[in-house]
Chain A
Amino acid sequence: MGISAGWRRGTARDRTLTSSAMTTWSTPDFWLGMILLTLFAVRLGLFPTGGIEDPSSGATGVEKLLDQAWHMALPCLTLAIAYVGEFALVMRSSILDVVREDYLTLARAKGLRDTDVRNRHAVRNALLPSTALIAINFGFVLSGAIAVETVFSWPGLGLLTTEALRGPDLPMLQGLFLVFSASVIVFNLFADLLYPFLDPRVRYA
């Protein structure tokens, strides 16, 4: 979405995408979860209201997995909507950065079609900031999910954090904080190791 917005900057599509991305960015993620929960689980009854699986079903194997996926749908949707805006904005601004580069003019001069110029030349170069963001966000999704997990009573690290807070269980909080920080560091390391494959310029630097 960011790609298409940045490529045709200032058009109606760019404006709609940018403003909706900014709106989802401004939304507290747990509040979005509350709205989705009432809409799809309470009002329409399409999804379960919380938990990781149906405790009474006693299903095993594939059925158990399906049950868990069913319970996972709404929390995942919530986090996805909450974060897609940020990705779109970052992608848009990095596309805007490369759009003015000489190698795009060269690519057009070679007679490449507009979509080829975009997909093979612009996007590859604009991917770097997004990769960094994905890495950072892995850690932040872990921690950002604290409030969302609470809303959907999803028994993960986030819900554990909230329960430790109610205690308050300080050693537990410190341990969780350590896990969150370590995961951010590990994912950042992954991103740094991934860079040279995406961008040869980093390899020779």
Chain B
Amino acid sequence: MTSIAWERRRRAFRRGWAEYRSDREGIVGLVVLGLFFAVALLAPLLADGSELRAVNTTDNPVWAPPTEFRPLGTDNLGRPIYDQLVYGSQVSLLIGIAATLIAIVIGTVVGVAAGFFGGWTDAVLSRLSEWFLVIPFIPLAIVLAAILGPSLRNIIFVIGVTSWPVTARLIRAQVLTIKQRLYVERSRALGASGAHVMGRHILPNVMPLVIANATLTVPIAILSETTLAFLGLGDPLRVSWGSMLEDAFSAGALGREAWWWYLPPGLCVIAVVLAFTLVGRAIETILDPRLRAGWRG
């Protein structure tokens, strides 16, 4: 029985991929993402990390515009902007994805539990996620990060535990509709346990939604990281695009018009966030035919 189900799913996936390829924006997003991931993974080959420490940059000119120093110039300590950008991509992507994983796992567990069990479990979990949803997210993250202290792990944790409620609500709604399907009822009638129904029928059916939602959560996590790092809550030992902006701002790069310092990190953030959003929307369109252009109900 499972093999038939798997065969069907594989076919559905192939059909989805064929549809995805026809979505130009989705492909553009995927290509941009591939580029950034390649840069993040190949960072040690693309740039020499030693010059990220100011002790190793005493020979470099400071405040050098791109015309005077290698590809993108240097900052107030002589650190090359290009190296910072390359290594910053690692931190930004890592935080974006790791925080999203936490958020998605919490969101899926809460959503499935609330939708499947109903009753008072649903009531408690739904109130809890509404509570998290209404609380302004950035101040909460700021307070948490300030109390826990600035480190890579804490930033991931803070963003992860504050961004799950949207996922939980979406998953809950989806579980509620799946629960009504005939095959779930049939499985129940044959004596299947709650765990079996959840694992075999509910989870596989919410998975596509989970993936689409994850792709749309990553950009929010990356934007949050940028804001938190800009406010000085990032890991002080690692370069990220947000911490570059913070350095540039507190070193007075605005007044000196050192555009080569603060322009590139912002553009990178926009590119990655936009790419993730495009990919997420493309997946969403495949899952929900109502979003397709020209659809008439």
Q: A: which residues have CB within 8 A of B? A: 9-10, 22-23, 25-28, 30-32, 34-35, 37-38, 42-43, 49, 100, 136, 139-140, 142-144, 146-147, 150-151, 161-162, 165-166, 168, 170, 173-174, 176-177, 180-181, 184-185, 188
Contacts and interface: CB of A to CB of B under 8 A. Distances in A.
A22 B277 contact: yes
Contacts of B266: 27-28, 31-32, 34-35
B135 A181 contact: yes
Interface residues of B, number: 41
User: A-B pairs with the 6 shortest C-beta distances?
Assistant: A31-B266, A26-B273, A143-B136, A26-B274, A180-B139, A143-B139
A188 B255 contact: no
B224 to A, nearest CB: 10
Interface string B242-275: 1001001100001101010011011001100110
A191 B219 CA distance: 28
B140 A30 contact: no
Given A34-B254, A42-B257, A173 B223 contact: no
Contact of A165 (B140, B219, B231, B242): B231
Interface of B: 134-140, 142-143, 146-147, 219, 223, 226-227, 230-233, 242, 245, 248-249, 254-255, 257, 259, 262-263, 265-266, 269-270, 273-274, 277-278, 293-294, 296-297
Contacts of B263: 35
Contacts of B233: 165
Nearest to A162: B231
B136 A23 contact: no
Contacts of B294: 10
Contacts of B296: 100
B136 A142 contact: yes
- Mostly helix, strand, loop or mixed at chain B's interface? helix
Contacts of B265: 31
* Chain A CB within 10 A, most for which of B146, B232, B274: B146
Given A28-B269, A181-B136, A147 B231 contact: yes
A173 B134 contact: no
Contacts of A23: 270, 274
B262 A26 contact: no
Contacts of A42: 254-255, 257
B262 A161 contact: no
Nearest to A144: B138
Contact of B138 (A10, A37, A143, A150): A143
Given A28-B223, A140-B138, A184-B136, 17 more contacts: A26-B270, A26-B274, A30-B230, A31-B262, A31-B269, A34-B245, A34-B248, A34-B249, A140-B136, A147-B231, A150-B230, A165-B233, A173-B143, A177-B140, A180-B136, A181-B135, A185-B134
A168 B148 CA distance: 12
B136 A151 contact: no
Contacts of B249: 34, 150-151
A4 B29 CA distance: 26
A188 B134 contact: yes
B147 A170 contact: yes
Contacts of A10: 293-294
B142 A146 contact: yes
Contacts of A188: 134
B227 A43 contact: no
